[in-house]
Structure 1
Amino acid sequence: MDTEFGNSRWARNESKCDPNGRWRVILEPLQKAEEQLDNVKIVCYEKNNDIGGTWLENRYPGCACDIPSVNYQFSWKIKLWTHYYSYTPEIWQYLKSIEEENSFISKHVKLRHQIDRVERDDNARLWRIEIRNLETEEVFEDAAEFCINAAGALNNWKWPNIPGLHDFTGKLMHSAHYEEGYDLSGKNVALIGTGSSGVQIFAVIQKVDRLYYWIRSPICITAGFAQTWAGYDGANFAYSSEQLQ
């Protein structure tokens, strides 16, 4: 059966699509595929133990969306957000609620599965995919006519090569692998790096006892998106109950 999806037409007995990774990108095709496509098998391989990608993994202090919450959602799933720029837990819960309402994990997703290799087979017109089951370490192969790489490029974190870093006897945490809920009050904190995560962390942990910030080189910071409608001086703010009404 021919089925329209965007500007494409599908006319196959069964097509298979293997997306992996970035869940804000993947949920839209999953929802549209279930509405508009026939004879298409979709399998999503996810290395983590739940969906969410960026918003599952990044839990450092101040981690938030950099555009207004009302613009960071699907038109078919409108939400009343608590903040103008929403924080990680709320964004992850929004994505998770969509998955739960549609049972995407049970139907399409294999958790704790990591893609080790993807190769094009031109003769068969297929993508050959090597997958590792992270629970059992079993390695197996799959094949698909379409392969969507939504794995992102920032989730393979590593410690910086700083002499003596691992001789530090205090608590050592990386922004990409932060211990959520760790209490910094009354602590002396050293923060290294002025990337986007470093800037966000610096802004919200000012109430520590002492804060030392190591900056290797100057950075450029642009104005926030849609600051005209944000809080004082473009700051984030929580919506009041009246505003949510």
Structure 2
Amino acid sequence: MAIKRVLLKLSGESLSYDKVSISVEALKRTVSEIKTVAGKNIQLAVVIGAGNIWRGCGKFIERVTADKMGMLATVMNSLALSDALKKAGLKTKVFSASGVTGFAEIFNRDKAINALNKGYTVVFAGGTGNPFFTTDTTAALRAAEIGADILLKATQVDGVYSADPKKDKNAVRYNSLTFQEALDKKLKIMDQEAFSLCRESNISISVFDFYKNGNLKKILSGKKIGTVITAGGK
């Protein structure tokens, strides 16, 4: 199946470098990778986390409040990414699940799909709009809503392993898996809600090393990079 519409899930760390929450150097590198694929017969949407800005402050701040702060932090990251993409010559739109008047449009599925069809790189901010849900779940939800062909989970590892490769030298990397195989092996690919939603919506997941230059373009050019999880394991 040819990939046309893609949801790229980035961590907040993709914008951070050397303890700077939003680093110009990291931002430029992330934009450079995105520019190699955006607008080139690929409709690209992005969900970005907020771990570079906010991690919840343990149990000191109540969970609902902490999650709301995290959602606001994703808006900050989304605005930074969108502005940098514009500086690189790409058309972008930011949609937020929560009302942030003057900063981003409220998420609307039809408007988001229309923007993708017009060649915009769409950035989804504000999480799902509700506490208790991760940005992985946000990515899966938005991927399902826009009818994405694949969800690309950008990480710092080169795929899914049978165990933590940093702790187990015998850990095996999988090139491909079915959703059922991943469940049977109890592999932690995404949180349960996100994984289940992708499975139910038949959206393939690709886990890859985003920090190796050129990997994003290689995946969308059909190269076998990282680990792909599909309904049929192809």
Q: Name the TM-score, length of structure 1 as normaliser.
A: 0.24
Between Structure 1 and Structure 2, the one with more strand by share is 1
In our comparison, the structure showing a higher alpha carbon Rg is 1
Between Structure 1 and Structure 2, the one with more helix by share is 2
Q: Name the TM-score, length of structure 2 as normaliser.
A: 0.24
